[in-house]
Structure 1
Amino acid sequence: MRTIVISGASRGIGRATAERFRRAGDHVYNLDVRPPDGPSEGIPWLEADVADWTAVEAALAAVHRERGRLDVAVANAGISVPHGVLELTEADARRVVDVDLLGVLGMWRCAARYMAAAGGGVLLATGSINGHRGFPRYADYNAAKAGIAALCRTFALELSPAVRAACVSPGAVLTPMQLAEYSPEMLDAVSARIPAGRHAAPEEIAEAFFYLASPEARYVTGQELVIDGGEIAGGTTSDHGTGGLTPVTRQKR
């Protein structure tokens, strides 16, 4: 029975991923700044901000003391605050990078120490197709997500063969945040630009994480798994723009 820690598992992709591992019989811990949305039986919540490396180290140490092992760490926590590059503030940019990129680095760094000492483990993270294309109004978010793929390759090279590292990069996902911020018309406009014709469900992204953590994926490391319904396959994001879509915040977690 594995021990899994997932950051940002109080809702959205993180929550769906935590539930997927729990159903498989794993011991799952949710590392998040906010409590779970609704009942979350069997998934303890550890309050911590992933931008605070000391807090993350304390949380992972508590898990390791309780379970005696750490098999999988999923760095999923992420935020985004849309704004044009001319309006971007230092405070907003630093917060996005601290959570979305350095939060992954800090969590992986700490988890990897336990895994290397134990002789095995899997490091996973949530990237984004924003790391592949220049989505307007998300300069800091785009750069942070591109950086996750680079971290993935570096950790894989340094820690193989004992510890694997991989990331899942979703496209548009129908999370509670997305539903709260987009009108039905806005959601339809986004879906129309996706070859699959729809947003992904959080559970579909969760299945990718579950696979990457499984023995069946033991030869997969240093890789980025894009799950976007074909959105970037034919360059369909080149006209993404704002297209009249002006959500206050776009946060996929």
Structure 2
Amino acid sequence: MRIVLISGASSGIGAATAARFAGAGDQVYNLDLQPPAEPTPGVVWLPGDVADWDVVEQAVARVHEEHGRLDVVIANAGISIRHHVLETSPAEIRRVVDVNLLGVFALWQAGARRMVAQGGGVLLATASVNGHRGFPHYADYNATKAGIAALCRTFALELSPVVRVACVSPGAVLTPMQLAEYSPDMLAAVNARIPAGRHAQPEEIAAAYFYLASAEAAFMTGQELVIDGGEIAGSTTSDFGAAVPQGSHLH
């Protein structure tokens, strides 16, 4: 049994990932401001905001003290606010950066301190294809996701060979929140821009995390795993970003 801490695991990709690890017999902790819609056996909710470094440290300390170790940390919590670069406010930008980028740093740093002391562990995070190409109306979000990939490489270099580090960059993922924002025509239009012809399911992203945390991925560190149905293989990314409906949550 591994001890796993995931941020933002009350819904979407995080919830699917928590369920995947818990289903394999791991003890999972979910650090999230919101409670999960449905309780999952083997998953304990820890209410907290990843933008608050003291809260993050307390959550990591609690998990480590209860079990004497921390095997896997997945920094998944993220937010997005659709706005034009000339219209966004400093408060909105700071909130996106605090949650999406600095929240990853805080969680990884707190987790890494325990992992280095115990002699091993795995740090993972949710980046995005948004970090590879321009997506209109998500400048701050895009920058934070590119930043996660940079953090991944740097943490890996500084913590190897004791701690492995990797990130997953999903493309369009059909979470319940995303589906609620689509009309059938909008969903079809976005799918048409993805070479695979569809969105990913959250469980497909969860499977990637499960693999990266496993012994089979023991030689992988400092890497970004893109799961996007071919979205950034061609020139569809910017067009897709412009077509994302108002208020959509991206990864």
CA displacement at 1:155 relative to structure 2: 0.3
**TM-score, normalised via structure 1 length:** 0.97
Q: State the partner residue of 2:156.
A: 156
Superposed CA RMSD in Å reads 1.0
Contact 1:175 1:252 in 2 (8 A): no
In the alignment, what sits opposite 1:22?
A: 22
Q: Could you tell me how far 1:69 is from its partner in structure 2?
A: 0.5
- Distance in 2, matches of 1:92 and 1:181, equals 21
Give the counterpart letter for 2:110 in structure 1. C
Letter in 2 for 1:210: F
Q: Partner of 1:240: helix, strand, or coil?
A: helix
Q: Which amino acid aligns with 1:134?
A: G
* Alignment coverage as a number of residue pairs: 251
Q: How does 1:193-232 map to 2 (within 5 A)?
A: 193-232=193-232
Q: Percent identity?
A: 71
Q: Does the 8 A contact of 1:30 with 1:44 survive in 2? A: yes
**Residue 147 of structure 2 aligns with which residue?**
147
Instruction: Extract unaligned runs of 5+ from structure 2.
Output: none
Query: Alpha carbons of 1:113 and 1:241: their partners in 2 closer, same or farther (altered >3 Å)?
Result: closer
Give 2:124's aligned amino acid. L
Which residue of 1 is the match for residue 7 of structure 2?
Answer: 7
| CA drift at 1:183 | 1.4
Deviation for aligned residue 1:184: 1.6
* Alpha-carbon distance in 2 for matches of 1:86, 1:252: 21
Shift, 1:238, TM fit: 3.4
The equivalent residue for 1:171 is 171
Q: Match of 1:185?
A: 185
> More deviation in 233-242 or 120-129?
233-242
Does residue 246 (structure 1) correspond to residue 245 (structure 2)? The answer is yes
Structure 1: state its 5+ residue gaps: none
**Equivalent in the alignment of 1:120:** 120
Give CA deviations for 1:191-248 in whole Å, capped at 9, x if unaligned: 10000000000000000000000000000000000000000001221323524x432x
**Contact 2:9/2:17 (CA < 8 Å) preserved in 1?**
yes
Q: 1:177·1:252 contact (CA, 8 Å) conserved in 2?
A: no
Q: Distance in 2 between matches of 1:241 and 1:215?
A: 36
SS of alignment partner, residue 105 of structure 1: helix
After TM superposition, the score normalised by the length of structure 2 is 0.98
- 1:39 corresponds to which residue? 39
Q: CA deviation at 1:40?
A: 2.1
CA contact (8 A) 2:181 2:245 kept: no
